Structures are given as C-alpha cells and as structure tokens.
C-alpha cells in the first residue's frame, strides 16, 4: 500500500507531501516539492522523473492540469503509475493508471490531493481528507501527519506499513521539514515522535540558517 497527500497551506504558502507505505524508505523518491512552485507525489510503479520533470514544468508556471497532461504524454508506462500535483495557486490534478493495484484512486480538495493504491477502499481517502480539513489551524506538517494517521485508522492498508515521511518547503530552496521513517514496525508513531523532536531541537536551527534575503543567517536569533 501507498497513501500520500500533496498540499498547499493557504495561510503560509508552504507546500508539502506526506506519505506512508508497506515498503522501506517511502520518502526517498516519492516526495517532490519546491518553494513558491508546488508539490508532486509519484507512487505505484515509481517514476522519479514525474516529480523532477513535473517541478520543472511548474517552475514554468504551468497549471496542475497541464503538468499532468505533459507528464502522462512523456511516460510510456503511465498506466502503471499513480501521481498527483498541486501548483503554485493550490490547484490540484491526479492520475491513477489502470494497472495500479486495487483499490486505487484519488480524492482532490481545495489545496490538496490524497491518493493511494492497495487500499481497503475509498473510505481511506475520505478519512484522510476529513482530517486534513479538520486540522486547518495546525502547521502543514502536522496536518499531513493527522491525515496519514486518519487514513491508516480507516483501514489504509491491506499490508502492514513500514515507512512514512513528511516533506515541507517554505521560502527557501532547502526544505523546512524533511522527516523520514525509513523502516519501522510503527512508522506513523515514529513519525509523530520525530516531528516533536525536530520541532523542539531542529526547527530553531533551520530558522537561523542563511536565506537568499539574509545570506549571513541569524546566529543569535532564538525564535522558533
């Protein structure tokens, strides 16, 4: 099973991808996002170039639908793929190939798309989407974690998950959040734990790092 979500935070303009799956290292090739640009998740029979080339198209200010069309046209095995796009304006587009293992599909909402294959059914997507909407006041990485957990609780997989990840970009070329659980018997539990650790210990350091606007960074800044 793979369950993922791509999203744009309306409050902050951040883009993110959250995912979990029944094989190791879901965060390695599935999640793609760029500041002020958009985000893409590529899964099922993974083609990393759907993410890489998709971001290149988004940087040209193509909308999500046009990016989807271009990516489908360029992939000779597109029916084995599943992927989703959210663009700079929060518009979404998704594709589930006919060769993806059932149950497979996607659910798009305002500023997000949630998709999966080898799921128990559409109720998994509905639960993840509902949780994402319900927690609109939370930071984007927390909303993605809540969505994954809700999907899992709704019977997300017919196999046990092994890995989970959250990847979020803000204004810089480097990510604000990149949390990966590459192999664990309870990857979502570990994802929550790592998020709390990173929020307390790593996020303040990232916020002090150099930016394009401030190449020196702020070594004395303590705001988290």
For residues 159-187, give the mean pLDDT. Answer: 95
Residue linked to tokens 């099922």? 44
- Residue 221 pLDDT > 60: no
- Residue 70 pLDDT > 90: yes
Q: Which residues contact 165 (CB under 8 A, 6 or more apart)?
A: 17, 18, 19, 20, 26, 27, 30, 31, 179, 180, 181, 191
Q: Does a structural domain hold residue 18? A: yes
Q: Does a structural domain hold residue 8? A: yes
Which of 109, 51, 61 is CA-nearest to residue 85?
Answer: 51
Q: Does a structural domain hold residue 221? A: no
Q: Does a structural domain hold residue 209? A: no
Cα 95 from Cα 41, distance rounded (Å): 11
- We report the CATH number of the domain holding residue 77 as 3.60.20.10
Cα 85 from Cα 10, distance rounded (Å): 16
The pLDDT of residue 219: 77
The pLDDT of residue 72: 98
Q: Does a structural domain hold residue 204? A: no
The pLDDT of residue 159: 59
The pLDDT of residue 155: 82
> How many domains does the structure of the chain reveal?
1
Domain range enclosing 82 = 2-196
Query: Per-residue confidence at 160, pLDDT binned at 50, 70, 90?
Result: confident
- Residue 177 pLDDT > 50: yes
Q: Does a structural domain hold residue 202? A: no
- Residue 222 pLDDT > 50: no
For residues 42-66, give the mean pLDDT. Answer: 98
Q: Does a structural domain hold residue 211? A: no
pTM above 0.75, yes or no: yes
Tens digits of residue pLDDT in 127-157: 999 999 999 999 999 999 999 999 999 985 5
The pLDDT of residue 156: 57
Sign of CA dihedral 180, 79, 8, 32: positive
- Residue 158 pLDDT > 60: no
Q: Does a structural domain hold residue 56? A: yes
- Residue 224 pLDDT > 60: no
Tens digits of residue pLDDT in 192-207: 999 999 999 999 999 9
């Amino acid at each position: 099973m793979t369950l993922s979500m791509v999203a744009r935070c309306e409050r902050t303009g951040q883009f993110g991808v959250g995912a979990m799956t029944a094989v190791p290292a879901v965060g390695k090739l599935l999640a793609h996002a760029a500041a002020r640009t958009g985000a893409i998740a590529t899964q099922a029979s993974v083609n990393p170039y759907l993410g890489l080339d998709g971001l290149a198209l988004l940087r040209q200010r193509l909308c999500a639908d046009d990016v989807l069309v271009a990516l489908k046209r360029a992939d000779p095995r597109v029916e084995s793929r599943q992927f989703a796009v959210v663009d700079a304006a929060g518009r979404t587009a998704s594709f589930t190939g006919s060769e993806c293992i059932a149950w497979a599909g996607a659910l798009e909402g305002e500023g997000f798309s949630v998709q999966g294959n080898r799921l128990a059914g559409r109720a998994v997507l509905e639960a993840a989407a509902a949780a994402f909407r319900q927690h609109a006041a939370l930071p984007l990485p927390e909303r993605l974690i809540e969505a994954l957990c809700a999907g899992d609780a709704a019977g997300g997989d017919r196999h046990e998950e092994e890995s989970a990840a959250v990847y979020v970009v803000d204004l810089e070329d480097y990510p604000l959040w990149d949390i990966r659980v590459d192999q664990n018997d309870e990857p979502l539990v570990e994802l929550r734990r790592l998020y709390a650790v990173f929020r307390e210990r790593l996020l303040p350091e990232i916020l002090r790092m150099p930016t394009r606007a401030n190449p020196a960074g702020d070594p004395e800044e303590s705001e988290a």
